[in-house]
Structure 1
């Protein structure tokens, strides 16, 4: 029997009847324009974009990019690299196993948006285009040419096979999607060079270290942006750049490597995070870092309840408040009616245990409910907690929490003679107050990550997932649904209480207003739930990344004023529309949202 094969077409080969882009140019011309325009944009970053240093970033220097020019430089270099990969030059196709054309489109769009945003903002801020220097005109023209080039790249919509005319329109739509995806997979398989050879273990280790180093650089750059325009450009480049690398298949390849070395990846990630305070010259951005870790740790605890067990908890921030108030009461604060000062390990343990007890008390009578009814009850518990501590002021109730004044003047921690409120010099680096608390909170986060990972991989973790997927089927298989859900509720509350114990000392004061369902400044129940959904439910890294974004972006977008939440909500809507499974999805959830995705032989673990 003879097997007939068809040689794969090169990206530049003309095909009769081949699909075209939005404009009528050939695809080869489009790739050339996109690559050449991006290269010219890179050159333009070494020219002056304005004549005055009044615009932030000092874009007046020739030969040295600064401010937003650096971001355009990065976007341009990525676009050039993907453009060369689309031609298959220098073996770049092996580095980017996905769709180079789709990745090139996103990279060019990100570079174009950043460049034109900068040019328009310079004109608006300084009073007209007369303030632009030649470099600004060059980058505007170059990115426009690159945009025209990517608009010429083809969009493939293959003709679907005939289907049953009695199918509903929704079934027809899904059938079209499956057919389209099958053609795309066949095209990628045809261009694939075959199974990749086995890599030495040290290569995977180097890849993981490099990824963590890049992550640290990106996070440090983002958190250290000095002005609003630079942060907006940073968001544009990072968003489109991540999308381009995902389309190119690089994200999937790195994810496969990290999945094979989960322990090494976790250790590398925490080492990279521990290096963050040593990259800072003062406490300005370490402050944001420690609050991000508090937010991320609580979000990871909520991920046990929502992501693994599938329980919609809208009052989870109350458990953070329980831990914070418990720790504050035994912290030695002069406004505490108990007038005792326990060591940190005792106060942290007490905060976690008291929060767990509250989780059992609240969960026992309510966890027999499902869905919206459970969400309403937990929302009510969050409000009950806030109102209760507000009324325990000695007038409306017993004098325990000082009402709206809260418990103030909470002293800094002192562990084994190490005062977290004082500056300390380590290896020649000076760590101030918030840097000290950042390292302590990082240790707490590591504990929570280990608990989450061990729990999700255990028998009880598999029971949580079974309850989440189909509670009726899980009960029919002999799983004690009430007991399993109560354990998830209690464990999640315990982890939130542990984080609250540190938060009390970081903020100096705990008040009822900090623990509302919706509040301008996270953490609150709404932002916590959004962090879990945005990052990816049922994963470890998802809520950590989601919490970091949800805290960092509002902190940097304060200049929007009353429009801050509008912009934030719009961004969430767009993300849920185009990536409903989250930024770092669990494999099972990704299969739920994308039926055309081929299921692997063995699903990754829930905590991946």
Structure 2
């Protein structure tokens, strides 16, 4: 006689209210229903008027057509619903949460809440009171708050300690950001993976173009709030790991797609002013990448790096053919670029040779002094305090536009039916230079000298003991970084039409300057390629877009750096070594060997 025994599965983490790591509890729980209802109401509220007057930018007075900050709230509500439905097991959206995580829903709900309440507060402050809010704005604020309350009630992502379950909303909120590792990805056909790469690059281009094209500061702040929440949500969901695996598999296609998207950027802009922002961002980013070699790879704290940008700019201006140059010389483009690179390289060697034997704070002080000496020296070469070379504080104006193979970058051109203006021309030129700098950085990082730089950065004494000529290796890094800055300076001189000493201060409200360049490297992530690019874009865009906060710019910038150092010291994009340095690795400690023999150990 055969006896059949039926067992009832016992859920993991019984009694804790937590799901099994890597899985989501399905079903319409009250928290999910509340979250879905709040997100749906928030979405519907964007089709209502939020205020009665067009005095607030973005025209939030129209029924049935979202505008301005309403569009950001609409996008946030849609993303919240999408990740929520993915958690409920909707097959078409299940790919959004490969890690089986609820935290993306909470993050997006918080981002939507922040944008909506910021819009309501901005309307009240700008127009003079909450009375200027229409019912649509009040509904949006209440619905976004309900969405956050519902999201806080969702099950946490990972198992809890049975003796200390998350009993409070704050405890659950803090614990919900510990996302589990994503499940193993199912193999996809190569053509599907290429489509995924193309879609990701297209979304990145659209987001970047939207951010640059924001016409007023309130919309840009809302864009930053929602973008921060969305990027963090995608990271917590595990989508970035899936995308990283796909891009690593098709690296050449990824690079080509990214470059094509970058080339297409000026074609997506309706105004030449936005293309000019792209050109200046690339100049700033290229210089930041050069500084990343000095600081990020070699570990040399250079506080006067912007002086090398100035050396390249002044050298190019003096040979540009401007009537304000004391030299009657007009070099062609490539010769002018080589002049700027050579001048910065020579200055890098001359400054680095006597100073690179110093370390730490002493080196920082000397490089800071060099930056100030350069600026004061350019002011004094005015024919009164010194030789008449740089026209003193007035600088060198009327620098003509570049002409490359008969192609005048200062004139508008038509390409495939698109009008390409002056700043778009310089943007494409700087894109080529940025690609060269990225290639130099990657090749250097993966080379023997790159490994020597990293060794010096980690421990110079140990590197010297291993046979590395630390002085010569640091001098190469200093000279290479200076040469890359000089290359960017040649283009900057022609884009701005003028060079003057005030452009190269240590701290100034508008980048590039030494403080902002160093901050871009630290903010983005030292030793990485994409980190300084992202950091430079943010640090250039924020002062340009938030002109109404100009008086508090440096204060807000300092607070942002303090928060970054506290919560993400490795930067926005961190390499593996920095993650291990600043965060716990989760590895077990080596057991003590006290009392054991060598054989037993």
What is the TM-score with the length of structure 1 in the denominator? 0.88
Structure 2 counterparts to residues 414-453 of structure 1, below 5 A: 414-453=403-442
Separation in 1, partners of 2:263, 2:103: 36
8 and 341 in structure 1: CA distance in 2 versus 1, 3 angstrom threshold: farther
1:378-417 deviation line (CA, Å, top 9, x unaligned):
1111111111111111111111111111111111111111
Aligned residues: 563
Contact 1:537 1:582 in 2 (8 A): yes
Separation in 1, partners of 2:149, 2:493: 54
Note if 1:311 corresponds to 2:310.
no
Partner in structure 2 of residue 109 of structure 1: 110
184 and 226 in structure 1: CA distance in 2 versus 1, 3 angstrom threshold: closer
Structure 2 counterparts to residues 278-427 of structure 1, below 5 A: 278-427=267-416
Structure 2 counterparts to residues 447-466 of structure 1, below 5 A: 447-466=436-455
Deviation at 1:112, TM superposition (A): 0.6
Q: Mark the runs of 5 or more structure 1 residues left unpaired by the alignment.
A: 21-25, 162-179, 600-608
Contact 1:313 1:375 in 2 (8 A): yes
347 and 237 in structure 1: CA distance in 2 versus 1, 3 angstrom threshold: same
Deviation at 1:111, TM superposition (A): 0.4
Contact 1:245 1:251 in 2 (8 A): yes
Separation in 2, partners of 1:357, 1:261: 40
Separation in 2, partners of 1:312, 1:597: 31
Partner in structure 2 of residue 95 of structure 1: 96
1:266-311 deviation line (CA, Å, top 9, x unaligned):
3222211111111123311111111101000000011111111111
Deviation at 1:222, TM superposition (A): 0.8
Contact 2:16 2:160 in 1 (8 A): no
Which residue of 259, 263, 286 corresponds with 2:252? Answer: 263
SS of corresponding position for 1:390: helix
Which residue of 192, 196, 201 corresponds with 1:207? Answer: 196
Partner in structure 1 of residue 540 of structure 2: 551
Separation in 2, partners of 1:220, 1:211: 14
Separation in 1, partners of 2:584, 2:278: 38
Deviation at 1:38, TM superposition (A): 1.1
Note if 1:499 corresponds to 2:488.
yes
Partner in structure 2 of residue 40 of structure 1: 41
Separation in 2, partners of 1:148, 1:374: 52
Contact 2:543 2:550 in 1 (8 A): no
SS of corresponding position for 2:254: helix
Partner in structure 1 of residue 54 of structure 2: 53
Deviation at 1:593, TM superposition (A): 1.3
Contact 1:82 1:100 in 2 (8 A): no
Separation in 2, partners of 1:77, 1:136: 18
Deviation at 1:92, TM superposition (A): 4.2
576 and 211 in structure 1: CA distance in 2 versus 1, 3 angstrom threshold: farther
Deviation at 1:232, TM superposition (A): 1.1
97 and 526 in structure 1: CA distance in 2 versus 1, 3 angstrom threshold: same
Q: Mark the runs of 5 or more structure 2 residues left unpaired by the alignment.
A: 1-6, 20-26, 164-173, 589-601
Aligned residues: CA RMSD: 2.6
SS of corresponding position for 1:311: coil
491 and 160 in structure 1: CA distance in 2 versus 1, 3 angstrom threshold: farther
Deviation at 1:584, TM superposition (A): 1.4
470 and 200 in structure 1: CA distance in 2 versus 1, 3 angstrom threshold: farther
What is the TM-score with the length of structure 2 in the denominator? 0.88
Separation in 2, partners of 1:579, 1:430: 42
Note if 1:523 corresponds to 2:512.
yes
Separation in 2, partners of 1:284, 1:530: 25
Separation in 2, partners of 1:366, 1:597: 41
Choose 133-142 or 148-157, whichever is displaced more. Answer: 148-157
Separation in 2, partners of 1:31, 1:473: 56
